[in-house]
Structure 1
Amino acid sequence: MISKTIVALAAVLPLAGHAETIENVDKVEVRGHYDNGVGTSGAASQGAVTAELIANRPALRPGELLEFVPGVIVTQHSGDGKANQYFLRGFNLDHGTDFATFVDGMPINMRTHAHGQGYTDLNFLIPELVDRINYKKGPYYADEGDFASAGAARMTLANKLADTTASVTLGENRYLRSVLTGSTPLAAGNLVYGAELGHNDGPWQVPEAFHKSLGVLRYAQGASDDQFSVTGMFYKGAWRASSQIPLRAVQAGELDPFGTIDASDAGRTSRYSLSAAMRKRSSDTLLQANAYLVQSSLTLFNDFTYFLDDPVNGDQARQTEKRRMGGFDVGQTWFSHWGGLDVSNKLGVQGRYDYLSPLSLTATRNQQPLRSISESTVKEGSLAAYLENTVQWQEWLRTIAGLRYDRYRFDVSSNIAENSGKVSAGTTSPKISVVLGPWAKTEFFVNYGEGFHSNDARGTTVHLTPKELEPIDPVTPLVKTRGAEIGARTEFLPGLQSSLAVWKLRSQSELVFSGDAGDTSASRGSYRSGIEWNNHYIASAWLLFDLDLAYSRGHYTEHDEAGDYIPGAIGKVASFGATVMDLGPWSGAFQMRFFGPRPLIEDNSVRSASTAIAYARVGYKFNRRWSMQLDAFNLFDRKVSDIDYYYASRLPGEPADGVDDIHYHPAERRSFRVTLKAVF
Structure 2
Amino acid sequence: MSLIKDLSVAALLAPLLAQAAEPQPQPERLDRVEVLGHYQLGLGQSNAASEGTVRASLIETRPALRPAELLEFVPGMIVTQHSGDGKANQYFLRGFNLDHGTDFASYVDGMPVNMVSHAHGQGYSDLNFLIPELVQRIDYRKGPYSASDGDFASAGSARLLLRDKLPHEMASLTLGEHGYARALLAGGLALGPGRLLGAVELHRNDGPWQQPEKLRKFNSVLRYSEGGEDGSRSLSLMAYDSRWTATDQIPARAVAGGRLDRFGSLDPSDGGSSRRLSLSARQTRNTEDGDWQLDAYYVQSRLTLFSNFTYLLDDPLHGDQFEQAEARQLLGGEASRRWQFEWRGLHQQFSLGAQFRHDGLSPVGLYATEARRRLATRQESELRQTSAGVHAELSSGWTPWLRSVVGLRGDAARFKVHSSIAENSGRAQDSLVSPKLALILGPWRKTELFLNYGEGFHSNDARGTVARIAPKEGTPVEPVPGLVPSRGGELGLRSEWLPALQSSLALWRLDLASELVFVGDAGDTEPQRASRRQGFEWNTHWQLNRSWQLDLDLAASKARYRDDAPEGNRVPGAVDRVASLGLSWNEPSSRWSAQFQLRHFGPRDLVEDGSQRSKATTLAYARASWQASPQLRLSLDVFNLFKRQASDIDYFYESRLQGEAATVADRHFHPVEPRSFRLTASLSWP
Which category describes the TM-score, using the shorter chain as reference length?
A: over 0.9
The 2-side partners of 1:553 and 1:547 are apart by 21
CA drift at 1:596: 0.4
| Alignment match of 2:546 (pick from 528, 541, 547) | 541
Give the 5 Å matches for 1:198-213. 198-213=203-218
Residue 19 of structure 2: aligned partner: none
CA drift at 1:225: 5.3
Residue 8 of structure 1: aligned partner: none
CA drift at 1:223: 3.5
Residue 608 of structure 1: aligned partner: 614
| Alignment match of 2:154 (pick from 149, 157, 160) | 149
Counterpart code for 2:138: I
CA drift at 1:475: 1.4
Residue 174 of structure 2: aligned partner: 169
Contact 2:33–2:42 (CA under 8 A) maintained in structure 1: no
1:424 aligns with 2:416: no
Report sequence identity in percent. 54
CA drift at 1:655: 3.2
Residue 384 of structure 2: aligned partner: 379
1:159 aligns with 2:160: no
CA deviation vs aligned residue, 1:180-205 (integer Å, no higher than 9, x gap): 11222111111111110000000000
Residue 272 of structure 1: aligned partner: 277
1:634 aligns with 2:634: no
| Alignment match of 1:644 (pick from 647, 650, 658) | 650
Residue 519 of structure 1: aligned partner: 524
| Alignment match of 1:365 (pick from 363, 370, 375) | 370
Residue 76 of structure 2: aligned partner: 71
1:589 aligns with 2:606: no
Tell me the SS of whatever aligns to 1:53: helix
Give the 5 Å matches for 1:41-56. 41-56=46-61
1:532 aligns with 2:522: no
Residue 563 of structure 1: aligned partner: 568
CA deviation vs aligned residue, 1:604-637 (integer Å, no higher than 9, x gap): 0000000000000000001110110000000000
Counterpart code for 2:286: R
Change (3 A) 1:251 1:290: same
CA deviation vs aligned residue, 1:439-469 (integer Å, no higher than 9, x gap): 1000000000000000000011100011222
Tell me the SS of whatever aligns to 1:678: strand
Give the 5 Å matches for 1:56-67. 56-67=61-72
The 1-side partners of 2:256 and 2:559 are apart by 31
The 1-side partners of 2:473 and 2:542 are apart by 57
Segment drifting more, 440-449 vs 579-588:
579-588
Contact 1:70–1:548 (CA under 8 A) maintained in structure 2: yes
| Alignment match of 2:467 (pick from 453, 462, 470) | 462
After the TM superposition, which segments of 4 or more aligned residues of structure 1 sit over 6 Å from their partners? none
Residue 670 of structure 1: aligned partner: 675
Change (3 A) 1:27 1:618: farther
| Alignment match of 1:487 (pick from 464, 477, 492) | 492
CA drift at 1:582: 4.4
CA drift at 1:279: 1.5
Counterpart code for 1:625: Q
1:403 aligns with 2:408: yes
Give the 5 Å matches for 1:70-469. 70-223=75-228, 226-469=231-474
Contact 1:139–1:150 (CA under 8 A) maintained in structure 2: yes
Contact 1:35–1:50 (CA under 8 A) maintained in structure 2: no
CA drift at 1:425: 0.3
Tell me the SS of whatever aligns to 1:254: coil
CA drift at 1:540: 2.0
CA deviation vs aligned residue, 1:228-256 (integer Å, no higher than 9, x gap): 11100000000001100000000000000
The 1-side partners of 2:502 and 2:33 are apart by 12
Contact 2:34–2:42 (CA under 8 A) maintained in structure 1: no
Counterpart code for 1:430: P
The 2-side partners of 1:224 and 1:413 are apart by 50
Tell me the SS of whatever aligns to 1:540: coil
Contact 1:224–1:279 (CA under 8 A) maintained in structure 2: no
Segment drifting more, 402-411 vs 179-188:
179-188
Tell me the SS of whatever aligns to 1:660: strand
Residue 617 of structure 1: aligned partner: 623
Residue 22 of structure 1: aligned partner: none
CA deviation vs aligned residue, 1:467-488 (integer Å, no higher than 9, x gap): 2221111112111100000000
Counterpart code for 1:231: S
The 2-side partners of 1:454 and 1:254 are apart by 42
CA drift at 1:421: 0.3
Counterpart code for 1:243: D
CA deviation vs aligned residue, 1:123-182 (integer Å, no higher than 9, x gap): 001000000000000000000000000000000000111100100000000100000112
CA deviation vs aligned residue, 1:521-545 (integer Å, no higher than 9, x gap): 1110000000000011111223211
Tell me the SS of whatever aligns to 1:327: strand
CA drift at 1:27: 13
CA drift at 1:581: 2.4
Counterpart code for 1:302: S
Contact 1:507–1:526 (CA under 8 A) maintained in structure 2: yes
Contact 1:72–1:87 (CA under 8 A) maintained in structure 2: yes
CA drift at 1:224: 6.6
Which ranges in structure 1 are unaligned for 5 or more consecutive residues?
A: 1-25
Segment drifting more, 572-581 vs 167-176:
572-581
CA drift at 1:218: 0.5
Tell me the SS of whatever aligns to 2:130: coil
The 2-side partners of 1:285 and 1:611 are apart by 47
The 2-side partners of 1:108 and 1:224 are apart by 30
RMSD, aligned CA: 1.2
Tell me the SS of whatever aligns to 1:438: coil
Counterpart code for 1:651: L
1:502 aligns with 2:507: yes
Counterpart code for 2:619: I
Contact 1:465–1:518 (CA under 8 A) maintained in structure 2: yes
Contact 2:32–2:43 (CA under 8 A) maintained in structure 1: no
Contact 1:373–1:467 (CA under 8 A) maintained in structure 2: yes
Tell me the SS of whatever aligns to 1:600: coil
State TM-score, norm by structure 2: 0.94
CA deviation vs aligned residue, 1:322-350 (integer Å, no higher than 9, x gap): 00001011101111111101111111000
Contact 2:430–2:481 (CA under 8 A) maintained in structure 1: no
1:550 aligns with 2:547: no
State TM-score, norm by structure 1: 0.95
CA deviation vs aligned residue, 1:379-427 (integer Å, no higher than 9, x gap): 0000111111110001101111100000000000000010000001001
Segment drifting more, 623-632 vs 576-585:
576-585
CA drift at 1:257: 0.2
Counterpart code for 1:142: A
Residue 3 of structure 2: aligned partner: none
Counterpart code for 1:152: S
CA drift at 1:570: 0.7
Aligned residue-pair number: 654
Residue 38 of structure 1: aligned partner: 43
Which ranges in structure 2 are unaligned for 5 or more consecutive residues?
A: 1-30
